[in-house]
Amino acid sequence: MAKYRRQRINDSVAQETSLILRDVKDPRVSDALITITGADVSPDLKYAKIFFSSFGGDVKETEEGLRCAAGFIRGQLARRLNLRITPQLTFVYDASVGHGAQIASILRTLDAAQGSSAEPDQAEEETDDDAR
């Protein structure tokens, strides 16, 4: 199978899974803010890893809720996507979103520290210009 087709299937599975999660009634899933970050379908289309990030709630509880709802989600995927084989779903926590937020906060603190240290230097230059 061509790589571009598999990438389109990955994107479709991820997009439809994120839409299906709105209909899941399990409180472990519906109470947590879950974002589907990607999907990786095997070349034979039998298995799919769904990568998710979760804000609010315990990650292990959310992962357990998704595992329990995998049958429902798979059935909905079969109805919505026109695939010969609907893949078995495995949910994997993706920590990259949290890691990116941590890096962004570090950069903000460095920028703030650098901005506060640059202000006194500019004030000294202005007083030197006034003295001349």
For residues 110 and 1, give the distance between their C-alpha atoms in angstroms, rounded to a whole number: 47
The pLDDT assigned to 55 comes to 82
Tens-digit pLDDT profile for the chain (132 aa)?
Answer: 677 889 999 999 999 999 999 999 999 898 888 999 999 999 999 999 999 998 877 889 999 999 999 999 999 999 999 889 999 999 999 888 778 888 999 999 998 888 877 655 554 555 555 555
What Rg value do the Cα atoms of the chain yield, rounded?
23
Question: So what's the pLDDT on residue 32?
Answer: 86
Q: What pLDDT score does 43 carry? A: 92
In the prediction, which pLDDT does 96 show?
82
Are 96 and 38 in contact, with CB atoms under 8 Å apart?
Answer: no
Buried/exposed code over 53-69 (b: 16+ C-beta within 10 A; e: otherwise): bbeebeeeebbebbeeb
Half-sphere exposure of 28 (CA within 13 A, CB side): 12
CB neighbour class for 17 (10 Å; exposed up to 12, middle 13-18, buried from 19) = buried
Q: According to the model, what pLDDT value does residue 128 have? A: 55
Dihedral pair phi/psi, residue 18, rounded to 5°: -65, -35
